[in-house]
Chain A
Amino acid sequence: MSKLISFGMLFITVCCLTPIAHTEEVSTDPLDSVMWKEMQRSLLGGAPVVFDDQVRVLAPGDAEDSMNVPVLVDATALGEVTRLLVFAELNPIHKVLEMEPHQSKPLIGFRIKVQQATPVRAAALTPDGQWHVGGHIVEAAGGGCTAPSLSSDNEDWASRMGEVSGRLWPGDQSTRLRMRIMHPMDTGLVSGIPAFFINRLELQDNSGDLLTRLFLFEPVSENPVITLDLPKLDAVTVRGEDNNGNPVQARVLAGLSGEEK
């Protein structure tokens, strides 16, 4: 009997040590995240990916403020990108944002809330149907997703909700847009405060043509500050709404207003 058990143990051990062939995987996760397989299944529909340094995720190694972790995703090295997906794997809400670049470069800057140390990952889909994945691990004390937004503490927040401030910086090849939209971006994970966040933004040029489309999710920080590199232009129309249907509507023009608010 004991021999049988020993054989059984040996068999199990051998089985566990034998690598299971992953035919669908070109490379292995450089961040060695326990959540990667699940992310690939749930967010990318199980599609094969390559881990690719051409998808840059710039973020601090340590989150000083768990409610405001700065991130810049830059997949311009890939050339054309049709979808760009950003997710924080160990957050209670994984998906951070999704971008359909269209005329914009596949580059976006923003800030996120993190609940604990987590890989922050970006997946870029190229026209050949291949996902390219880059990432960065952010260490954190955490709690950013379950801390109330500052505006939920401030009775006046509603009066400025949806207000946009922003500027355009003309460059040689492109125009940089940076804008800030006043919104609490509540995650719904704080007791008594429902999820309340801007979930859709569309940018258009003067003739109403689509420049780029963004879908935001709960982990994007309060009063989102978004950076994009657009084609050369001198005005951008911003159209969007939050999950309660409140609109975001503004036009950002080149130049300065000459007054500080």
Chain B
Amino acid sequence: MSVTQLLLFIVVMVMISPAWGAKDYGLTPKEIAPGTYVLLGQNEHFNFRNGGNIVNTGFIITEKGVIVIDTGPSRLYGEQLRTAIGKITDQPIVKVFNTHLHPDHILGNQAFEDIQIAALPSTIEGIREQGELFNDSMYRLAGAWMAGTRVVLPTQIVKPGVVEMGGHRLRLFEMDGHSHADLVILDETTGVLFAADVVFHGRTPTTPHADVAHWMQALDTVSSLKFKLLVPGHGHVVSDSLPIVQTREYLQWLIDRLSQAAETGQTMAELLQSDAPSSIANLAVFREEYQRSVVHLFPDIEAKALSRGRVEQD
């Protein structure tokens, strides 16, 4: 091999290597309670800059290993999350929870394939049915960050109740409303509540699989819990119940608006423009999420309103 050939070989290898122009989510775990870390995502939509990192993930370092809560939007995120954990502790990762089926919470599973990944039964079913669809649409929305990502199903079923793990007492709740199954985790040892996407903070809630009435009930349950810190699925960690109030206020406004529109004969397209009060319109990505929610929720509300009319079938 001549020097030129060698150089060419090196150049080509560098160019095709995955490390070339490697993308970095810049994950920085923040310790919010003893041994308890959160990685905050952007309050944005999926895009080519954030690579899908719009989500909060977390982990708890116990005496008997690390518990990971949600794995992020891509293989790459999962790998970088695992690396970030490894920089903080030598403890092995012993358990991963997927709080619900949405892609930003589960598509990092690939990096934890050697570990037990646990989720509620409906969550596993949902990922089985829609995971590939999510993966495709994430690739469209977040681009190259998604490279090499494939769907990895949870391997273990979560049963609600209390589990003791390495000196932490975790209470697992099966809720629904944001999706068909929402896992909420209260660490009774530290008082940290991982509320998943039942609670949004400063960001407009999303509704692709929502049942708003059930979601309201889930919010009631969450507000009845005793916690020191609340980790929402999206948005900053807080010590009060402000994001619970905020999420409830948005959902109530949304459902009132759609119901009123259906009862007054407005069309779906007319509804796309909204005149929300500023407390709601100022939530991050309000306009986009509101328009998405119109498409998710209005057809059913409208069908109910129309079925109340007087029609003679000939």
| Residues of B271-305 whose CB lies within 8 A of A | 271-272, 288, 291-292, 294-296, 299, 302-305
Q: How far is the CA of A259 from the CA of B140 in the complex (A)?
A: 44
Binds A, one of B146-154, B182-190, B260-268: B260-268
Q: Write the nearest CB–CB distance from A19 to chain B, whole angstroms.
A: 36
Residue B308 lies at the interface, judged by CB distance under 8 Å to chain A: yes
| Residues of A234-261 whose CB lies within 8 A of B | 249-261
Q: Are B309 and A141 in contact, with the CB atoms below 8 A? A: no
Q: Are A250 and B311 in contact, with the CB atoms below 8 A? A: yes
User: A64-B295, A167-B305, A260-B304 in contact; A178/B265 too (CB < 8 A)?
Assistant: yes
Q: What is the interface residue range for chain B against chain A?
A: 20 to 34
Binds B, one of A6-14, A68-76, A95-103: A68-76
Q: Write the nearest CB–CB distance from B268 to chain A, whole angstroms.
A: 4
Residue B213 lies at the interface, judged by CB distance under 8 Å to chain A: no
Residue B223 lies at the interface, judged by CB distance under 8 Å to chain A: no
User: A163-B313, A167-B265, A250-B314 in contact; A72/B270 too (CB < 8 A)?
Assistant: yes
Which of chain B's residues have a CB closer than 8 A to the CB of A166?
306, 309, 311
Q: Are A180 and B264 in contact, with the CB atoms below 8 A? A: no
Residue A59 lies at the interface, judged by CB distance under 8 Å to chain B: yes
Residue B312 lies at the interface, judged by CB distance under 8 Å to chain A: yes
User: Most A CB atoms within 10 A — which of B264, B302, B307, B311?
Assistant: B311
Residue B91 lies at the interface, judged by CB distance under 8 Å to chain A: no
Q: Write the nearest CB–CB distance from B134 to chain A, whole angstroms.
A: 12
User: A58-B272, A165-B303, A167-B305 in contact; A227/B267 too (CB < 8 A)?
Assistant: yes
Select B295's contact among A58, A68, A141, A179, beta carbons within 8 Å.
A68
| Residues of A156-185 whose CB lies within 8 A of B | 163-169, 176, 178-180
| Residues of A67-118 whose CB lies within 8 A of B | 68, 70-72, 109, 111
Which of chain A's residues have a CB closer than 8 A to the CB of B267?
70, 72, 109, 178, 227
User: A68-B295, A250-B314 in contact; A260/B269 too (CB < 8 A)?
Assistant: no
Residue A65 lies at the interface, judged by CB distance under 8 Å to chain B: yes
Q: Are A60 and B291 in contact, with the CB atoms below 8 A? A: yes
Q: Write the nearest CB–CB distance from A219 to chain B, whole angstroms.
A: 15
Q: How far is the CA of A164 from the CA of B313 in the complex (A)?
A: 7
Q: Write the nearest CB–CB distance from B245 to chain A, whole angstroms.
A: 27
Chain A's closest residue to B270 (CB) is A72
User: Most A CB atoms within 10 A — which of B269, B288, B308?
Assistant: B269
Which of chain B's residues have a CB closer than 8 A to the CB of A257?
308-311
Q: Write the nearest CB–CB distance from B294 to chain A, whole angstroms.
A: 8
Q: Write the nearest CB–CB distance from A113 to chain B, whole angstroms.
A: 13
Q: Are B306 and A165 in contact, with the CB atoms below 8 A? A: yes
Residue A225 lies at the interface, judged by CB distance under 8 Å to chain B: yes
Chain A's closest residue to B273 (CB) is A58
Chain A's closest residue to B262 (CB) is A178
Q: Write the nearest CB–CB distance from B48 to chain A, whole angstroms.
A: 15
Q: How far is the CA of A259 from the CA of B137 in the complex (A)?
A: 40
Chain B's closest residue to A71 (CB) is B269
Q: Are A60 and B306 in contact, with the CB atoms below 8 A? A: no
Q: Are B268 and A109 in contact, with the CB atoms below 8 A? A: yes
Q: How far is the CA of A5 from the CA of B296 in the complex (A)?
A: 60
Q: How far is the CA of A160 from the CA of B140 in the complex (A)?
A: 37
Q: How far is the CA of A260 from the CA of B306 in the complex (A)?
A: 9
Q: Are A60 and B272 in contact, with the CB atoms below 8 A? A: yes
Select B313's contact among A109, A176, A250, A255, beta carbons within 8 Å.
A250
Chain B's closest residue to A259 (CB) is B308
Q: How far is the CA of A253 from the CA of B308 in the complex (A)?
A: 11
Q: How far is the CA of A255 from the CA of B309 in the complex (A)?
A: 6
Select B310's contact among A71, A141, A255, beta carbons within 8 Å.
A255
Q: How far is the CA of A109 from the CA of B262 in the complex (A)?
A: 13
Which of chain B's residues have a CB closer than 8 A to the CB of A255?
309-310
Q: Are A58 and B270 in contact, with the CB atoms below 8 A? A: yes
Q: Are B306 and A225 in contact, with the CB atoms below 8 A? A: yes
Q: How far is the CA of A166 from the CA of B305 in the complex (A)?
A: 8
Q: Are B314 and A249 in contact, with the CB atoms below 8 A? A: yes
Q: Write the nearest CB–CB distance from A220 to chain B, whole angstroms.
A: 14
User: A72-B270, A109-B267, A141-B137 in contact; A178/B299 too (CB < 8 A)?
Assistant: no
Select A64's contact among B264, B291, B311, B312, beta carbons within 8 Å.
B291
Select A169's contact among B264, B269, B310, beta carbons within 8 Å.
B264
Which of chain A's residues have a CB closer than 8 A to the CB of B269?
58-60, 70-72, 109
Q: Write the nearest CB–CB distance from B118 to chain A, whole angstroms.
A: 31
| Residues of B233-272 whose CB lies within 8 A of A | 264-265, 267-272
Select B302's contact among A71, A176, A225, A254, beta carbons within 8 Å.
A225
Q: How far is the CA of A180 from the CA of B302 in the complex (A)?
A: 9
The 7 A-B residue pairs whose C-beta atoms are closest, nearest first, are A109-B267, A167-B309, A70-B268, A72-B269, A249-B314, A169-B265, A64-B295
User: Can you pick out 11 interface pairs between chain A and chain B where the beta carbons lie within 8 Å of each other?
Assistant: A68-B295, A68-B299, A109-B269, A165-B311, A166-B306, A167-B265, A178-B302, A225-B303, A251-B311, A252-B310, A256-B310
Chain A residues in the interface with B (C-beta under 8 A) = 58-60, 62, 64-65, 68, 70-72, 109, 111, 141, 163-169, 176, 178-180, 225, 227, 249-261
